[in-house]
Structure 1
Amino acid sequence: MLSSQRNITDVQAHEIDLADDVGIMQKSTFNLMTRQAGGRDGIGYNILDAKNYLRSKRQKSMVYGEAGCLMRYFQEQLSKNPSFYHASQMDMDEQITNVFWADARMLIDYEYFGDVVSLDTTYCTNRDNRPLAMFSGFNHHREAVIFGASLLYDETSASFNWLFETFLEAHKHNRPLIVFTDQDQAMAKALNEVMLDTFHGLYFKRCMYGFEDETQFEEAWARCYMNNAFTLGMRSTQLSESVNSSIKNCMKPNLNIEQFFKNFEQVVEEKRYNKLKCDFEACQKLPRLRLENSPMLQQLSNIYTPSIFDLFQKEFLLFDAAYIKHKEEIGSLCEYVVGLINHDREWRVIYDPNMKLICCSCRRFEMIGLICCHCVKVFDVLDVKLLPENYILKRWTRKARTGVVHDYIGNEVEEDPKLQITERYRRLRLMLIRLANEASIHQSTFSLGHDSISDLQKKMLEHKMPLPTSSSALSTSHACPERTPNHLSFTEMVPFDQTMFSADRTYFSGDASNADNRDRDY
């Protein structure tokens, strides 16, 4: 076919763009469209034309350079949702070095699930091999959620310092309880300087191969498996593995910055779609109760998400094999020694009848946020049939994402501004309909309602504000509000003094050898 006869139609160009956006190889796209057209004679162009089309399109999109594309992308996101956060760092030559961004959903997810965070920088994003730093966590379905991302110039302590400070500013300086990382001294130094109160856990691979000194290895290993850390019961690499598999499938070394953002958005949307599927299944399916007459299982089946309820039920069923070996009163406290049939170990449970608090030497609640079978056994002996509310963490419940979230400036974060406008309209309409029904009954109430609404209408016209537009996402505010009740502080997680299980009392020494070694699938 002569070049003058070859032409890519608008429809074909759209299909080529869609295939390129989702990462389909150009040859595969061309072969598919050839089959659809009944052969190469009917398609009207060849594969070289498709490559030239994409190349010219990318050159046009990069006319302002990489920095211009970055700023244009951020401004587009701000125009869609004013809650979008982004920040950049400049070098001495006023060139952009490090950038960080988090959209509205990321800000909201961190508010609810930012107690345990994984930071991974193991993959590079584009032809410049700039590291992509990804902050992620687990939601109430134990599905991965993303809290923010950054393109780094390098992996020095200075870059990580800026990254952690920016991350905290985006999330109103709410520090996570624990951060799992894959890095060594540079990241550890920055964490110690910026997040003093945050526990730093290293990945298994870093512990195994990142230390030459035996003492350093033992300290890192103990930190990774410290049984007082609130780790959600996951392996240190579990969060990273969940996101890595998706990232690596769409990141290619020859991507420009615009293509990278398209692929990154696909990964984020994939994770969010998984959350929607879990929400739908939780609404449509009832959990299967292994003990249908159990009041506690009936209670929690309606409170926990299905995945969390399955974890709890698996532990709950073990209490049937548990028995009280010994009971002792220590002042106002009661100590129970609990054993399991066909198991040599024993666990010590302390119960405070005045404060209605319970604590077990296995530390399962302190690590995972779910009560253990030893405590369930003691509750059963005490004739406590329902789990007390202070042992039900909101972050594991179906209503974990309820409540209003504000951004670093103080404005309400809206996942989708268009949907929020519709929701506000619906709520006001219902209120006004009820008001009209009440006011229309008598002339006096009608006059009162009419005059009040007229005054309200005048005030609204005086204070009417234009719709939000793009604005700078950088803020100098360093306010540090308290964490929401959805998060658990270390003092809340450990209801009793740690000395109750100290080596002096021989109850619980805190060594790894004394930890609960029963095999569990967390």
Structure 2
Amino acid sequence: MNYCYKLKIEAIEGGDSQVVCDKLQEAYSEDPNFFFRVRLDSDGRVCNLFWRDSMMLEDYKIYGDVTVFDTTYRTNRYNLICAPFVGINNHWKNTMFACSFIGDETTDSFVWLFETFKKAMGGKCPVSLFTDQDATMAAAIPKVFPNTRHRLCLWHLIQNAVTRFGVLKSDDTFKAAFMKCLSGCINEAQFEVCWDSMMTKYKLKNNSWFKRLYSLKHKWSTALSKDFFSAGILSSQRSESTNHAVGFKANKKTSLTEFYNIFQKTVKTWRRNEDFYEFNSIKSIPISSYPMSALLKHAAEVYTHTLFRDGTTQAVTYDPVNQTTQCPCKNFEESGWLCFHSLRILHMHSVEKIPEQYISIRWTKVAKDKVWESIEAEQRKKGTLNNFTPWRLHMVRKYYSLILKSHKFEKSRKVLEESYAKDSSAIDEIISAMKSTDNHSENTTGVEENSEATSSNVVQVLDLARAKIKGFQEAMTT
């Protein structure tokens, strides 16, 4: 405990803000594609902070069409607002795009932050941006992302609504009617009927909060948003994921340095989980409660396990010439994958593969293949290949395909088994020789290269003030 306490004191003795800025500068020296911005006040104190690493950029290129921006998390020591940018990957799990701290929730701060995020992502804007109900944030979004569809997270909306229910809070029939308006209506006509019925039955037509909520209906009602891509976040299955997207806890004594360290560990955990889901999707085929027709087998081969699921009943129209379908649920338009209703129609018309126009790469097993290959090629070029995940996943996919191809025939199985035995023996010899060489090198040289990076343009900052800060100036380091 004393040792841990000593390490903690050493981490903050140099100034909490300065330590974090130094960590960001160090990360940049190790990762040339690392990006960060520090915004200072007139006294040299941090008021806004933003960063993202190179993998976050690659993830955003693939999954950045839908972004969740959550400002409901704070570090209470300085009252700074932690505002992460989060996306949904091909396994329908959260992936981090960037993290930021802002000193206040003014439109000016949000404009600065969104412009910084946009620059960090090479100018790419999200198709849909999910936020809470902050008015100043809503005013900043069209200034920076004029073509982005601004949505309201259902989870936050429900939490805010509960505080407005009053005596209706204990009325289950009212809550059911409200939830149907949120995400239970198929189209706009049904939504309008349900909303009007709820307003009349519970005498809410003159309620100012519900009036304002209705004026924002296009930002939260699933019935009015089915023509816009949202990766399914507006559905109840994903809404809870936007609740404190970072997913860890801090307290009023948590310093900025501690928060940064915890955040980095959280990102590493998310990426380890992603490796696990990637590996599982590659090595196995999901099952279905329905007979595995050729079409369903193709879906199982193409999509990740999370995307391979069943649905309910709808009336679907089908054009056999162009192999196009139209379903009232509009799942493809909203989420990016064909619904089960459409798959059933295609199956009935003896279509054995999902038409290419309905396969969105972001949901497939190979969504990040080019990223892994690029990282591996760069590491090989530099002679620093230490992240084996890309190569491992690539080889697992190759060998698994070979096993599936050969397992039905005894002769092909025998060829594969003999090749494995031969390759295994050759690899053992290589590893043994490499270990012998490494031991010899250590015994003869005993020299270890110092790889510590330094930079002359480290941002110098003071500790954070505990009140809101005015008079902004920027210190930018990339």
Q: Distance in 2 between matches of 1:149 and 1:422?
A: 30
Alignment partner of 1:121: what SS?
coil
**Counterpart pick for 2:326 among 324, 345, 359:** 359
Q: Please tell me whether the aligned partners of residues 67 and 85 of structure 2 are also in contact (alpha carbons under 8 angstroms).
A: yes
Which residue number in structure 2 is paired with residue 499 of structure 1?
Answer: none
C-alpha change, 1:285 and 1:384, in structure 2 (3 Å) is closer
Which residue number in structure 2 is paired with residue 221 of structure 1?
Answer: 217
**Counterpart pick for 1:73 among 19, 23, 26:** 23
Which residue number in structure 1 is paired with residue 427 of structure 2?
Answer: none
Which residue number in structure 2 is paired with residue 401 of structure 1?
Answer: 368
Which residue number in structure 2 is paired with residue 36 of structure 1?
Answer: none
Q: Distance in 2 between matches of 1:96 and 1:60?
A: 21
What displacement does 1:371 show?
1.4
C-alpha change, 1:74 and 1:475, in structure 2 (3 Å) is closer
Tell me which moved more, 289-298 or 210-219: 210-219
Superposition RMSD on alpha carbons, in Å?
Answer: 3.6
C-alpha change, 1:57 and 1:381, in structure 2 (3 Å) is closer
What displacement does 1:102 show?
0.5
Q: Please tell me whether the aligned partners of residues 104 and 415 of structure 1 are also in contact (alpha carbons under 8 angstroms).
A: no
- Select the structure of larger CA radius of gyration: 1
Which residue number in structure 2 is paired with residue 135 of structure 1?
Answer: 85
Q: Please tell me whether the aligned partners of residues 246 and 266 of structure 2 are also in contact (alpha carbons under 8 angstroms).
A: yes
Q: Deviations over 1:136-157 (max 9, x none)?
A: 1111111111110001111111
The gaps in structure 1 that reach 5 residues or longer are: 1-15, 17-49, 319-339, 341-345, 406-411, 427-466, 478-522
What displacement does 1:423 show?
8.1
For 1:305-320, list aligned pairs within 5 A: 305-309=304-308, 311=309, 314-315=310-311
Q: Deviations over 1:399-457 (max 9, x none)?
A: 0012259xxxxxx985997577458899xxxxxxxxxxxxxxxxxxxxxxxxxxxxxxx
C-alpha change, 1:362 and 1:241, in structure 2 (3 Å) is closer
C-alpha change, 1:245 and 1:303, in structure 2 (3 Å) is same
Q: Please tell me whether the aligned partners of residues 39 and 476 of structure 2 are also in contact (alpha carbons under 8 angstroms).
A: no
Q: Distance in 1 between matches of 2:157 and 2:361?
A: 32
Q: Please tell me whether the aligned partners of residues 319 and 325 of structure 2 are also in contact (alpha carbons under 8 angstroms).
A: yes
Q: Please tell me whether the aligned partners of residues 136 and 239 of structure 1 are also in contact (alpha carbons under 8 angstroms).
A: no
Which residue number in structure 1 is paired with residue 404 of structure 2?
Answer: none
C-alpha change, 1:368 and 1:71, in structure 2 (3 Å) is same
Q: Does 1:390 align with 2:341?
A: no
Q: Please tell me whether the aligned partners of residues 126 and 260 of structure 1 are also in contact (alpha carbons under 8 angstroms).
A: no
Which residue number in structure 2 is paired with residue 145 of structure 1?
Answer: 95
For 1:366-445, list aligned pairs within 5 A: 366-404=333-371, 414=375, 418=379, 421-422=382-383
What displacement does 1:372 show?
2.6
**Counterpart pick for 2:58 among 108, 116, 138:** 108
C-alpha change, 1:214 and 1:153, in structure 2 (3 Å) is same
Q: Residue type of the partner of 1:269? A: K
Query: Could you say which structure has the greater relative contact order, defined with CA pairs below 8 angstroms and 6 or more residues apart?
Result: 2
Alignment partner of 1:147: what SS?
strand
What displacement does 1:266 show?
1.6
Q: Distance in 2 between matches of 1:396 and 1:261?
A: 30
**Counterpart pick for 2:46 among 82, 96, 102:** 96
Q: Distance in 2 between matches of 1:141 and 1:101?
A: 24
Q: Residue type of the partner of 2:214? A: E
Q: Distance in 1 between matches of 2:112 and 2:374?
A: 24
What displacement does 1:368 show?
1.3
What displacement does 1:164 show?
0.7
Q: Please tell me whether the aligned partners of residues 105 and 415 of structure 1 are also in contact (alpha carbons under 8 angstroms).
A: no
Q: Residue type of the partner of 1:271? A: W
Q: Please tell me whether the aligned partners of residues 49 and 101 of structure 2 are also in contact (alpha carbons under 8 angstroms).
A: yes
What displacement does 1:74 show?
0.7
Tell me which moved more, 365-374 or 155-164: 365-374
Q: Distance in 2 between matches of 1:416 and 1:289?
A: 38
Q: Distance in 1 between matches of 2:116 and 2:307?
A: 32
Q: Distance in 2 between matches of 1:470 and 1:236?
A: 47
Q: Distance in 1 between matches of 2:273 and 2:70?
A: 21
C-alpha change, 1:59 and 1:375, in structure 2 (3 Å) is closer
Q: Please tell me whether the aligned partners of residues 104 and 413 of structure 1 are also in contact (alpha carbons under 8 angstroms).
A: no
For 1:287-298, list aligned pairs within 5 A: 287-298=286-297
For 1:335-354, list aligned pairs within 5 A: 347=315, 349=317, 351=319, 353=321
C-alpha change, 1:236 and 1:347, in structure 2 (3 Å) is closer
Which residue number in structure 1 is paired with residue 251 of structure 2?
Answer: 252
Alignment partner of 2:208: what SS?
coil
**Matched residue pairs, number?**
350
Q: Distance in 1 between matches of 2:47 and 2:236?
A: 28
Q: Residue type of the partner of 2:263? A: F
What displacement does 1:172 show?
0.8
Q: Distance in 2 between matches of 1:121 and 1:133?
A: 5
**Counterpart pick for 1:212 among 208, 215, 222:** 208
Q: Residue type of the partner of 1:103? A: D
What displacement does 1:273 show?
1.5
C-alpha change, 1:183 and 1:470, in structure 2 (3 Å) is farther
Which residue number in structure 2 is paired with residue 272 of structure 1?
Answer: 271
Q: Please tell me whether the aligned partners of residues 160 and 187 of structure 1 are also in contact (alpha carbons under 8 angstroms).
A: yes
Tell me which moved more, 211-220 or 74-83: 211-220
Q: Distance in 2 between matches of 1:149 and 1:289?
A: 38
The gaps in structure 2 that reach 5 residues or longer are: 165-206, 389-451, 459-474
**Counterpart pick for 1:182 among 132, 151, 163:** 132
C-alpha change, 1:118 and 1:65, in structure 2 (3 Å) is same
What displacement does 1:291 show?
4.5
Which residue number in structure 2 is paired with residue 203 of structure 1?
Answer: 153
Q: Please tell me whether the aligned partners of residues 137 and 239 of structure 1 are also in contact (alpha carbons under 8 angstroms).
A: no
Alignment partner of 2:315: what SS?
strand
Q: Distance in 2 between matches of 1:423 and 1:284?
A: 28
C-alpha change, 1:239 and 1:117, in structure 2 (3 Å) is farther
Q: Distance in 1 between matches of 2:132 and 2:381?
A: 39
What displacement does 1:247 show?
4.4
TM-score, normalising length from structure 2?
A: 0.65
Q: Distance in 1 between matches of 2:70 and 2:43?
A: 29
Alignment partner of 2:70: what SS?
strand
What displacement does 1:250 show?
3.7
Which residue number in structure 2 is paired with residue 261 of structure 1?
Answer: 260
Q: Please tell me whether the aligned partners of residues 117 and 176 of structure 1 are also in contact (alpha carbons under 8 angstroms).
A: yes
Task: Looking at secondary structure, tell me which structure has more helix per residue.
Answer: 2
C-alpha change, 1:238 and 1:137, in structure 2 (3 Å) is farther
For 1:316-327, list aligned pairs within 5 A: none
Q: Distance in 2 between matches of 1:392 and 1:114?
A: 17
Q: Distance in 2 between matches of 1:191 and 1:245?
A: 20
Q: Residue type of the partner of 2:319? A: Y
Q: Distance in 2 between matches of 1:241 and 1:218?
A: 22
C-alpha change, 1:352 and 1:124, in structure 2 (3 Å) is same
